[in-house]
Amino acid sequence: MISEPELVGGGGFERPEVLTEAPPSRPPRPPRARRPWLWALGGAVAASALWGGGLYAYERAKPTGPDLQGYRHVEDLCGAARLEALAGVLGERREDRTPPVVNEPAISETGCQVGFGPPEAEQTVSITYTLHKVTDPGPEFEARTQQSGLLVKVDGIGEQAFFDDMEAEGGRLRVLDGPAEFQVDIYRQSYDMNGEEIASSLDLSGIEVPLTQDVLALMAELKK
């Protein structure tokens, strides 16, 4: 019978040796650099958003002015104004005169003076065409027109129109159509070069009818 080994010196079995030291670790990896394109992309997106927002704010804040409704500036208003209906009443169109032309970013203004009939008894038609490019003339047009004595409203032409009938001496028509303002004066030559009164058998009553027809034709021409 095999007996258990005797304990020598009462110490029993020796414990096996245990390794306590950890194996050497790998050297630490250097930190990875951030990808620069991600940062640049984010910055570009932010910059684009700021730029777009700034542009939108600028466009909203930028003054737009009234709608010109197709009206344009013209240098030769006499060429655009045919005045055929008035010629049928006043006589043959004889002479055109053009006042100085104004064409600025905010406003443009052109004029035309036309003589009708014989020189010794000339009838003159004076036209002024004003195009308001920035401000709306509508709110003050009627007030300014009434201050000048034009109190009779005329229907069927533009947004607002007023006529002053001067009977045998002629008349005056003022028209507002959006940003475009027209003033047409008709008057006859009452005195000659020597100061003598010129007799005229021409009846200018009802002159607002052919006058309105010619202004309507001029408005259409200025929108071409």
Q: Tell me, what CATH number does 97's domain have?
A: 3.40.1000
| pLDDT tens per residue across span 112-166 | 999 998 877 778 999 999 999 999 999 999 998 888 777 799 999 999 999 998 8
Which residues, in sequence order, are CB contacts of 162 under 8 Å at separation 6+? 142, 145, 146, 150, 151, 152, 153, 154, 173, 174
Q: pLDDT higher for 169 or 103?
A: 103
Find the Cα–Cα–Cα–Cα dihedral 122, 123, 129, 130, rounded to 10°. Answer: 90
Q: 84, 107 in Cβ contact below 8 A?
A: no
Q: pLDDT higher for 70 or 120?
A: 70
The answer to whether position 1 is within a domain reads no
The answer to whether position 88 is within a domain reads yes
Residue 189 has pLDDT above 60, yes or no: yes
Report the residue count for the chain: 224
Question: What's the rounded Cα separation, in Å, for the pair 187 and 171?
Answer: 7
Give residue 56's pLDDT band: very low, low, confident or very high (50, 70, 90): very low
Give the gyration radius of the chain's Cα atoms: 46
The answer to whether position 65 is within a domain reads no
The answer to whether position 215 is within a domain reads yes
Can you give the pTM of this predicted structure?
Answer: 0.69
The answer to whether position 44 is within a domain reads no
Q: Identify which of 53-57, 69-73, 168-172 has the greatest average pLDDT.
A: 69-73
Residue 54: what pLDDT?
52
Pairing verdict, β 180-188 and 123-132: antiparallel
Report the run of H or E that residue 140 belongs to, with start and end: helix 138-147
The answer to whether position 135 is within a domain reads yes
The answer to whether position 30 is within a domain reads no
Residue 106 has pLDDT above 70, yes or no: yes
Report the number of distinct structural domains present in the chain: 1
Q: How many CB atoms lie within 10 A of CB 27?
A: 6
Report, as an integer, the average pLDDT of 172-194. 87
Domain span holding position 97:
77-222
Q: Looking at this protein, which amino acid is placed at residue 217?
A: A
- Residue 197, classed as helix, strand or coil, is strand
Burial of 117 (0-12, 13-18, 19+ CB in 10 A): buried
The answer to whether position 146 is within a domain reads yes
Question: What's the rounded Cα separation, in Å, for the pair 187 and 215?
Answer: 16
Which residues, in sequence order, are CB contacts of 105 under 8 Å at separation 6+? 133, 134
Give residue 201's pLDDT band: very low, low, confident or very high (50, 70, 90): low
Report, as an integer, the average pLDDT of 39-43. 46
Q: Looking at this protein, which amino acid is placed at residue 126?
A: S
